[in-house]
């Protein structure tokens, strides 16, 4: 297991020097944030980002994310050109020594939470999801007002995009994903870059948009359709774990044994029963006993099944007065990293 930390590039208030001081840290997970979605990441820009990271004594072997253009997800006539661009980005990343690329295939929206600063009993704050709030929203009728929402679309653009998705159901989206991967994975095999799809977060359909990487069934189907080790997953415990039907220990063991887990996002969440039985969860500290997920069991299953991929502590709370980017402050993620590191050492040495 190689421990890494997400870094949002030179503008991230959490500097590479700070990241380097976290025990066990080998590298950062980052991206080129200024290149518009769909355009090729040129080698020069990749190499200058890598130089910044290497000069700070860290590696840059994982990219999160190379975003997939909506035209590819929609399967429109434009997709072939955009897939070619994606393939060229992978070739360029490989020349810079990148080993794993994390991406997602969620239409329009990435992760969804209803609160960015949910205050917990100990005074810290964190991201939370309240089904009651989400149920009260309809992006087709009203301007969306979820915190942290993607502001890059105007209301008109968003309406037009949502309209185009009316014809895309789960099956169509899956076919479009397979079309994309069938062209991309041979390039990844040639360049030795592993693709690690991030599960949908939360793992169910929202606002009528299809979501397909939500469960063991969906992941099995994807692996079968494009049968290559280069077609793997980011095991994001907090995303898949939000659906209580997902047995994460089982999935970790199974996919690690298949050599398909290339990246681990380790995060814990805590479920609370609401009076009307609708889902509420908040993100909790990483240790097993602080949340509802068995982080120890997941790490042990990965270890027992030969996981050798990259790991990063996923979302942390804001603690000790920090007012960090939601989910991505320094302190709680650093605590998470040392917890995960300690668990891994204990599991390794108990063998
Ligand atoms: C949220 C992240 C996601 C993830 C993308 C991968 O904190 O885990 O935004 O980076 O879904 O493409």
Distance 16 CA to ligand 1 centre (A): 20
Q: Out of 69, 198, 262, 286, which one is annotated catalytic? A: 198
Q: Out of 294, 314, 332, 339, which one is annotated catalytic? A: 314
Q: Is 198 a catalytic residue?
A: yes
Query: What does the alpha-carbon distance between residue 139 and residue 37 come to, in Å, rounded to a whole number?
Result: 23
Distance 102 CA to ligand 1 centre (A): 8
Query: What does the alpha-carbon distance between residue 53 and residue 72 come to, in Å, rounded to a whole number?
Result: 31
Threshold 0.85, pTM exceeds: yes
Distance 239 CA to ligand 1 centre (A): 10
Q: Out of 165, 303, 315, 332, which one is annotated catalytic? A: 315
* Token duo for residue 161: 């995009």
Strands (E), the chain: 2-6, 25-30, 59-64, 100-103, 115-119, 125-130, 194-197, 231-236, 261-266, 268-273, 279-284, 310-313
Distance 79 CA to ligand 1 centre (A): 22
Distance 201 CA to ligand 1 centre (A): 8
Q: CB atoms < 10 A from the CB of 279, how many?
A: 18
What per-residue confidence (pLDDT) applies to 47?
Answer: 98
What per-residue confidence (pLDDT) applies to 274?
Answer: 80
C-alpha 85: how far from its chain's center? 22
Q: Is 315 a catalytic residue?
A: yes
Which residues approach ligand 1 with their CB closer than 6 A? 64-65, 102-104, 110-111, 198, 265, 315, 327
- The torsion defined by the Cα of 330, 332, 336 and 342, in degrees rounded to 10, comes to 90
Contact call for residues 150 and 70 (beta carbons, < 8 A): no
Tell whether the torsion through CA atoms of 303, 191, 185 and 211 is positive or negative: positive
Q: Is 236 a catalytic residue?
A: yes
Domains along the sequence of the chain with CATH: 2-349 (3.20.20.150)
Nearest residue (CA) to ligand 1, atom 3: 111
Query: What does the alpha-carbon distance between residue 9 and residue 63 come to, in Å, rounded to a whole number?
Result: 11
Lowest model confidence (mean pLDDT) among 150-154, 188-192, 308-312, 322-326: 150-154
Burial class of residue 108 (count of CB atoms within 10 Å of its CB; 0-12, 13-18, 19+): middle
What per-residue confidence (pLDDT) applies to 135?
Answer: 87
Q: Which pLDDT band, with edges at 50, 70 and 90, does 150 fall under?
A: low
For a ligand 1 pocket test, name from 29, 30, 65, 197 the mutation site with the most ligand atoms within 8 angstroms of its C-beta. Answer: 65
What per-residue confidence (pLDDT) applies to 143?
Answer: 66
Judged by DSSP in three states, 180 sits in helix
Q: Out of 200, 328, 332, 339, which one is annotated catalytic? A: 328
Q: Out of 262, 265, 286, 303, which one is annotated catalytic? A: 265
Q: Is 294 a catalytic residue?
A: no
Nearest residue (CA) to ligand 1, atom 4: 198
Query: What does the alpha-carbon distance between residue 153 and residue 237 come to, in Å, rounded to a whole number?
Result: 29
pLDDT 10s digits, 250-309:
999 999 999 999 999 999 999 998 878 889 999 999 999 999 999 999 999 999 999 999
Nearest residue (CA) to ligand 1, atom 12: 103
Which atom of ligand 1 sits closest to the CA of residue 327? 7
Percent of the chain with pLDDT over 70: 97
* Token duo for residue 53: 């990271």
Query: What does the alpha-carbon distance between residue 26 and residue 38 come to, in Å, rounded to a whole number?
Result: 30
DSSP 281-320: EEEE-SSGGGSSS-HHHHHHHHHHTT--SEEEE----B-T
For a ligand 1 pocket test, name from 68, 70, 110, 195 the mutation site with the most ligand atoms within 8 angstroms of its C-beta. Answer: 110
pLDDT 10s digits, 100-116:
999 999 999 888 899 99
Residue 334 has pLDDT above 90, yes or no: yes
Q: Using alpha carbons, select from 142, 169, 146, 173 the residue that is nearest to residue 158.
A: 142
Distance 110 CA to ligand 1 centre (A): 7
73 in the Ramachandran plot: left (φ > 0), alpha (ψ -120 to 50) or beta? alpha
Q: Is 314 a catalytic residue?
A: yes
Q: Is 286 a catalytic residue?
A: no
């Amino acid at each position: 297991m190689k421990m890494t930390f997400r870094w949002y590039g030179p503008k991230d208030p959490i500097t590479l020097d700070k990241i380097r001081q976290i025990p066990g840290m080998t590298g950062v997970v980052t991206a080129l944030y200024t290149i518009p979605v769909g355009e090729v990441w040129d080698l020069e820009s990749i190499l200058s980002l890598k130089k910044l990271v290497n000069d700070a004594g860290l590696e840059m072997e994982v990219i999160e994310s190379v975003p997939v253009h909506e035209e590819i997800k929609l399967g429109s006539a434009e997709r072939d050109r955009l897939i070619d661009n994606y393939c060229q980005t992978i070739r360029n990343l490989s020349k810079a020594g990148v080993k794993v690329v994390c991406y997602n295939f969620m239409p329009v929206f990435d992760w969804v939470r209803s609160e960015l600063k949910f205050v917990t009993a100990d005074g810290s704050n964190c991201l939370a999801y309240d089904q009651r709030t989400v149920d009260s929203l309809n992006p087709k009728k009203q301007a969306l007002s979820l915190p942290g929402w993607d502001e890059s679309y105007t209301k008109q653009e968003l309406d037009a995009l949502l309209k185009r998705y009316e014809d895309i159901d789960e099956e169509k989206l899956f076919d479009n994903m397979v079309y994309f991967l069938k062209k991309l994975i041979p390039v990844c095999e040639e360049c030795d870059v592993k693709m690690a799809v991030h599960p949908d977060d939360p793992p169910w359909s929202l606002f009528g948009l299809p979501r397909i990487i939500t469960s063991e069934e969906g992941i099995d189907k994807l692996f079968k359709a494009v049968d290559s080790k280069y077609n793997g997953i980011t095991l994001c415990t907090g995303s898949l774990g939000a659906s209580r039907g997902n047995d994460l220990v089982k999935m970790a063991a199974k996919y690690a044994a298949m050599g398909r887990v290339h990246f681990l996002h380790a995060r814990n969440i805590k479920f609370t029963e609401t009076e009307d039985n609708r889902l509420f969860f908040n993100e909790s500290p990483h240790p097993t006993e602080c949340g509802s997920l068995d982080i120890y069991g997941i790490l042990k299953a990965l270890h027992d099944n030969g996981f050798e991929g990259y790991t990063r502590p996923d979302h942390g709370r804001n603690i000790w007065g920090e007012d960090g980017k939601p989910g991505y402050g320094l302190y709680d993620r650093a605590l998470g990293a040392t917890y995960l590191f300690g668990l891994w050492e204990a599991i390794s040495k108990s063998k």
